[in-house]
Structure 1
Amino acid sequence: MIDEDDLPQSTIERATMLEGILIDSATGSSGDNAVYEHLRREFMQNDELKPLLPSFVRTYRNLSAFWGWVKYEDATYAGRRTLIGKGFTPLMDYLEGKGAAPGDTTVSDALATFDAEGVHAVWTKALSRRLTDPEGAITVARTLLETVCKRILDERGTVYTDKEDLPKLYSPTAKALNLAPDQHTEEPIKAILGGAMTVVNGIGTLRNRFSDAHGRGGRAPVRPSPRHASLAVNIAGAVATFLVETHLAFTG
């Protein structure tokens, strides 16, 4: 039985401990298998961090199985340390803030307040995929906006069909919230709201061109990078937050 008081409190310290246990196991020391299994299970149950775990952590449930793999990957201790360190780089970078955008916390707070189990779950999935699965992150960015629009339309009693794409969902949502450009006369406001509508259409286009949502034929297009995914996710988060905050202001 693991005593939580014996483990570090912060997530990054727990990740460092997990990495250290694997390095010990791979370099002739006896790693603590019980702690390894406990920490691995904790990270595997975290939807935000699981995709950032090294593939060997996701694959090997105990140190014995890990040793059976790593001893053949590199014959030297130095090589194994490098292998494990590289495997943990995405997770450690993310936990140190290198994978975070300035608006992540604000967006997370707004979406969690709106619907912690639905909308916020989609946002969390999008965040976790930006670095490791750019195509998937672009798909989830659109899903985030679709989810927010549907939730708002549901709460306002507006009928829609499952066949409607994002622009067709966004338009009635904007009108219901008085966010359509033609509902305003002030040019700066119209420009901002028109820009938001253009952004929504752009995310749909980016998703169709780059994401994993559609089969591809002919010459393969340029694959999206993490920066493309960050652009899509960050913009989707900003627009989704704007919609949520406006909806809550009207109903609060």
Structure 2
Amino acid sequence: MSEYPTTPLEQAKMLENILVSACEGPVADTGMYQHIRAELMQDTTLRPLLPEFVRTCRDLKHFWGYIKDFAPKWEPRRVHVRDGMTPLFDHIEGTHRSPVDTVASDVLQKFDADGVHVVWEKALARRHTDPDGAITSARTLLETVCKRILDEAGETYSDKEDLPALYKAVATKLQIAPSQHTEDAFKRILGGATSVVEGLGSLRNKIGDAHGQGGKPVRPSARHAQLAVNLAGAMATFLVDTWAVRSQ
């Protein structure tokens, strides 16, 4: 298939064009849609960014059944498709990426590509589309980093230990616990780092998607998720960099 798009951006553009055209009526040939959809669905980073109608519609016949009921006219259907594709384009084009994203991605990729880095990418992908999930991923990132460092250091921990307990063990091992320093400036900075970790754990428990909530649940916005993910990324990078120095 010589005209098949090879990059995620090209695939996203063609997918959008196919869907916009399909808003006008039933489409018999759905091969290209199915190929692009299958490839994007296999990407663990991009899949959560796909609009729900792409994730649930296996071919254009299913999409037509969905879109014709969404609105009777073509233009509202097209707007719906373009709006649904926006998070995917924003991620691919880097619209919502910040400097810490790149730095943390590089450090965490080198540290543990199959474990830590996958969780980090999931947190990044969820920030603007699934704030609850992003906050949960932010805590999972720090838990995974702490456990990975403790494993490499030959230290033991139980499955019942929560994030603050894991971080305390890692901080002590890396000599970054506030109590291990006498300089007031360092004690303040490292105490702040401890507070960040404890705050992320508390935020996730209060408004993340890891626990059921009562009749008036507090829902985080994208800015809350952005803050949580950026803080987790900065802390994870700090821990990994410190471990790299201490373990030499």
TM-score (norm 2): 0.93
2:88 partner amino acid: L
Distance 1:54 1:172 in 2: 41
SS of the equivalent of 1:61 reads coil
Label 1:7 to 1:31 Cα distance change in 2 as closer, same or farther (>3 A).
farther
TM-aligned CA deviation for residue 130 of structure 1: 1.1
TM-aligned CA deviation for residue 61 of structure 1: 1.3
Distance 1:175 1:94 in 2: 37
Which residue pairs with 2:240 in the alignment?
A: 244
Runs (5+) with no aligned partner, structure 2: none
Which residue pairs with 1:154 in the alignment?
A: 151
2:227 partner amino acid: L
Distance 2:137 2:235 in 1: 14
TM-aligned CA deviation for residue 52 of structure 1: 1.1
Aligned-residue sequence identity (percent) comes to 56
1:226 partner amino acid: A
Which residue pairs with 1:72 in the alignment?
A: 69
Distance 1:34 1:76 in 2: 25
Deviations 1:56-100 (A, max 9, x none): 111111122212322232222222211211211221222232322
Label 1:7 to 1:181 Cα distance change in 2 as closer, same or farther (>3 A).
same
Which residue pairs with 1:201 in the alignment?
A: 198
Q: Does the alignment pair 1:19 with 2:16? A: yes
| 8 Å Cα contact 2:91-2:125 kept in structure 1 | no
Label 1:239 to 1:232 Cα distance change in 2 as closer, same or farther (>3 A).
same
Q: Does the alignment pair 1:118 with 2:143? A: no
Deviations 1:22-67 (A, max 9, x none): 1112225858522211111111011111111111111111122212
TM-score (norm 1): 0.92
Number of corresponding residues? 248
Which residue pairs with 2:178 in the alignment?
A: 181
Q: Does the alignment pair 1:220 with 2:216? A: yes
Distance 2:95 2:13 in 1: 16
Match of 2:85 among 84, 88, 92: 88
| 8 Å Cα contact 1:22-1:31 kept in structure 2 | no
2:218 partner amino acid: V
Which residue pairs with 1:61 in the alignment?
A: 58
Which residue pairs with 1:40 in the alignment?
A: 37
Runs (5+) with no aligned partner, structure 1: none
Distance 1:164 1:83 in 2: 45
1:109 partner amino acid: D
Q: Which runs of 4+ in 1 moved over 3 A?
A: 7-10, 28-32
Which residue pairs with 2:130 in the alignment?
A: 133
Distance 1:175 1:124 in 2: 28
Deviations 1:160-209 (A, max 9, x none): 11111111110110111111112222222222111111110111111111
SS of the equivalent of 2:198 reads helix
Which range is displaced more, 132-141 or 20-29?
20-29
| 8 Å Cα contact 1:25-1:31 kept in structure 2 | no
| 8 Å Cα contact 2:26-2:64 kept in structure 1 | no
Distance 2:5 2:179 in 1: 55
